């Protein structure tokens, strides 16, 4: 059937599903095994290279969870309140060497070690002091209350952090709690980034009347840096096959990944695919994704290359679904599936079966407390404002053909994608 339409997917040829493409990437990409050691303060965002077994239990010693009064379990009042004389005072960082005397209570503070034989702590808010200066304890407290036993958080020897973990601030905190000073991490993934297109000028350079400033390169470099990559900015390559092939070949040996934007479509001036074929091999070059479709993956002298489309929104969306898994696979990072959260659609949308679509949307809370997604009013893949003025992407699976207002759809926040 002849197709003359505004559907940019109309032109024929095989297309790979997003899942197939990601599967291929993870089988074709070999994880980098080179390590480096970094100080704890530099570990955020890096990928841990070795498992870490807890060198000590957390907490390292049994301690009080509150400010209050410690007692033996046998001295917890049963039925009626009971006054106990005070014996001892232990503050955080202090020592508690002497066992607590039977029939006594010790003043204790949050984080202070429990004295030997003390098993339970009464909160200071729950007690009173009688005229004789004794501490009057109420009945009914559970034995062991308000105490944090050694190792209750993490027992010694437990594998607390796994190789492949992309470190977040909380992982750094755990390493610090273990007293570690340095961590072995995978070296940064080296990525060469090119833009392609005669119509592009770099910000800071003169711009001819028919040119626009290259925005994709700066977006992609920022996204790569957020993934912990070491990025080489290689500027703009002109729309010429031999020149492109030469530029790509030059960086293949010195980088772990080559990333280009523009020139992967089927137009006469789209030369990236041919350039890759002339110096390496193509793994795929069309994906059933919108916005996106023309996305090339190739291998040049053993180095993977990903050619993203030139339209900024297509470039952004395909980065998330192709480049991100590639970088994570190169870093030997644990699989990080994107989990869309269910929200209520506040829009109508029609789509073709057989391709994955991403709709730019903003969230708002409805009067009944639900989250509702409002679609950006226009659809062009070149509209940078559509990324700037929305909160994330609605993911519509291959089999979906329609979205109606009120329907539940999956939302991926930009905050989770970057
Ligand atoms: P292409 O994929 O080369 O056919 O480009 C598709 C559209 O994206 C064209 O309108 C290009 O001008 C635009 N474009 C390509 N590369 C970039 C870039 N680096 N920054 C902004 N827009 C671009
Ligand atoms: Mg172009």
Residue from 310, 314, 315, 387 whose mutation best tests the ligand 1 pocket (most atoms within 8 A of CB)? 310
- Give, in degrees to the nearest 5, the angle at Cα 177 between 175 and 183: 20
> Is 263 inside a domain boundary?
yes
Q: Does residue 186 carry a pLDDT above 60?
A: yes
Distance (Å) from CA 269 to ligand 2 centroid: 7
Distance 241 CA to ligand 2 centre (A): 12
Residue 44's domain comprises: 35-55+163-186
- Both 358 and 255 in one domain: the answer is no
Q: Are 390 and 376 in contact (CB under 8 A)?
A: yes
How far apart, in whole angstroms, are the C-alpha atoms of residue 329 and residue 171? 20
Interval 368-387: pLDDT, tens: 999 999 999 999 999 999 99
Q: Verify whether ligand 1 is closer than 6 Å to residue 62 (CB atom).
A: no
Residue whose CB lies within 8 A of the most ligand 1 atoms, among 11, 194, 195, 197, for a mutation test: 197
Question: What's the confidence (pLDDT) of residue 177?
Answer: 98
Ligand 1 site, residue 199, Cβ cutoff 6 A: yes
Task: Say which CATH number the domain at 170 has.
Answer: 3.90.105.10
Question: Nearest bound ligand to CA 201?
Answer: 1
The whole-number average pLDDT for the span 161-172 is: 97
| Tens digit of each residue's pLDDT (9 = 90 or more) over 263-288 | 998 888 889 999 999 999 998 889 99
CATH number at residue 222: 3.40.980.10
User: How close is the Cα of 401 to the center of ligand 1, in Å?
Assistant: 29
180 in the same domain as 47: yes
Q: pLDDT value at position 266?
A: 82
Q: Is the CB of 164 under 6 A from ligand 1?
A: no
Please report the sign of the dihedral spanned by the C-alpha atoms of residue 178, residue 181, residue 185, residue 189: positive
In a domain, 157, yes or no: no
Long-range contacts (CB closer than 8 Å, 24 or more residues apart) made by 131-134 = 132/83, 133/85, 133/86, 134/83, 134/84, 134/85, 134/86
The answer on 101 and 45 residing in a single domain is no
Residue range 54-101, pLDDT digits in tens? 999 999 999 999 999 999 999 999 999 999 999 999 999 999 889 999
- Among all bound ligands, the one having the nearest atom to the CA of 199 is 1
Claim: this prediction has a pTM higher than 0.85 = yes
> Is 128 in the same domain as 71?
yes
- Whole-number pLDDT of residue 5: 38
Ligand 1 in contact with 318 (CB < 6 A)? no
pLDDT digits (tens, 9 = 90+) for 200-230: 999 999 999 999 999 999 999 999 999 999 9
Ligand 1 atom with the smallest distance to the CA of 309 is 2
pLDDT in tens, 8-44: 334 445 789 999 998 888 888 899 999 999 999 999 9
| Distance of alpha carbon 362 from alpha carbon 365, whole angstroms | 10
Within this chain, do residues 51 and 176 fall inside the same structural domain, yes or no? yes
């Amino acid at each position: 059937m002849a197709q003359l339409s505004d559907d940019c997917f109309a032109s024929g040829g095989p297309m790979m599903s997003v899942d197939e493409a990601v599967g291929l990437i993870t089988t074709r990409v070999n994880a980098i095994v080179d390590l480096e050691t970094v100080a704890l303060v530099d570990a955020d965002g890096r990928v841990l290279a070795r498992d870490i077994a807890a060198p000590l239990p957390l907490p390292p010693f049994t301690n009080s969870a509150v400010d209050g009064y410690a007692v033996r379990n046998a001295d917890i009042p049963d039925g009626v309140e009971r006054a106990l004389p005070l014996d001892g005072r232990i503050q955080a960082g202090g020592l508690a060497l002497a066992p607590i005397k039977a029939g006594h209570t010790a003043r204790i503070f949050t984080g202070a070690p429990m004295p030997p034989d003390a098993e339970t702590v009464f909160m200071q808010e729950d007690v009173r002091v009688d005229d004789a200066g004794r501490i009057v304890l109420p009945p009914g407290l559970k034995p062991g209350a308000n105490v944090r036993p050694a190792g209750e958080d993490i027992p010694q020897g437990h594998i607390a952090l796994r190789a492949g973990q992309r470190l977040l601030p909380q992982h750094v905190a755990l390493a610090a709690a273990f007293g570690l000073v340095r961590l072995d991490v995978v070296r940064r993934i080296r990525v060469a980034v090119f833009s392609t297109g005669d119509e592009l000028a770099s910000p800071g350079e003169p711009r001819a009347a028919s040119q626009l400033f290259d925005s994709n390169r700066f977006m992609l470099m920022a996204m790569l840096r957020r993934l912990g990559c070491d990025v080489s900015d290689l500027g703009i390559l002109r729309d010429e096959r031999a020149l492109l092939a030469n530029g790509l070949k030059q960086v293949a040996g010195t980088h772990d990944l080559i990333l280009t934007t523009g020139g992967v479509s089927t137009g006469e001036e789209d030369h990236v695919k041919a350039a890759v074929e002339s110096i390496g091999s193509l793994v795929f070059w069309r994906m059933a994704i919108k916005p996106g479709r023309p996305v090339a993956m190739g291998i040049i002298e053993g180095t993977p290359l990903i050619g993203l489309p030139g339209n900024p929104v297509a470039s952004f969306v395909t980065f998330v679904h192709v480049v991100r898994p590639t970088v994570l696979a190169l870093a030997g990072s644990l699989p990080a599936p994107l989990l869309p959260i269910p929200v209520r659609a506040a829009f109508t949308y029609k789509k073709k079966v057989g391709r994955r679509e991403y709709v730019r949307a903003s969230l708002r809370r409805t009067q009944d407390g639900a989250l509702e997604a409002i679609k950006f009013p226009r659809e062009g893949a070149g509209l940078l404002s559509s990324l700037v003025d929305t909160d994330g992407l609605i993911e519509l699976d291959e089999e979906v053909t329609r979205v109606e207002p009120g329907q539940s759809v999956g939302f991926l926040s930009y905050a989770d994608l970057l």
